[in-house]
Amino acid sequence: TLSYKLGLAMIQNSKNTSGIISLPFTLLKIQNKHKKAQKLYQEQIKANPNLKLPPLQAYEDYHEALKAKEHLSYKLGEALIQAHKNILKGGYVKFLFELKRIKNTHCKKEANIQKDKL
């Protein structure tokens, strides 16, 4: 999903200065590529309705897909998308606070998982 792709790019590019500087361009490139893929998919469905994918709930590994929503990359990407949707309402300012909350929550979960393994 777009959320996962954006979040993964944010994590990967946050490891060095040049990655942070190029991050907005990388995110924009991912968004544009995703939009093109979605547009192509819609055109293909219009031409041949048999190509339409079934709803997520129909897949056997649906519960695994729900687990992906708990990944840090998915949550970061989802927060970024929400910030962009609310750009006129201070979305990116709220996003900075949301980043801190997501990071803290993720670190606590990781600590609990490590604690349980011991």
Q: Which domain holds residue 82?
A: 2-117
The total of structural domains in the chain comes to 1
The rounded radius of gyration (Å) of the Cα atoms in the chain is: 17
- For 37-87, what is each residue's pLDDT tens digit? 999 999 999 999 888 888 888 888 888 888 888 888 999 999 999 999 887
- This prediction has a pTM of 0.80
- For 1-50, what is each residue's pLDDT tens digit? 899 999 999 999 988 898 889 999 999 999 999 999 999 999 999 999 88
The angle, 0 to 180 degrees and rounded to 10, between the axes of the packed helices 17-47 and 2-13 is 160
Query: pLDDT grade, residue 118 (50/70/90)?
Result: low
- For 81-117, what is each residue's pLDDT tens digit? 999 988 788 888 898 899 999 988 888 888 887 777 6
CA distance 27 to 17: 16
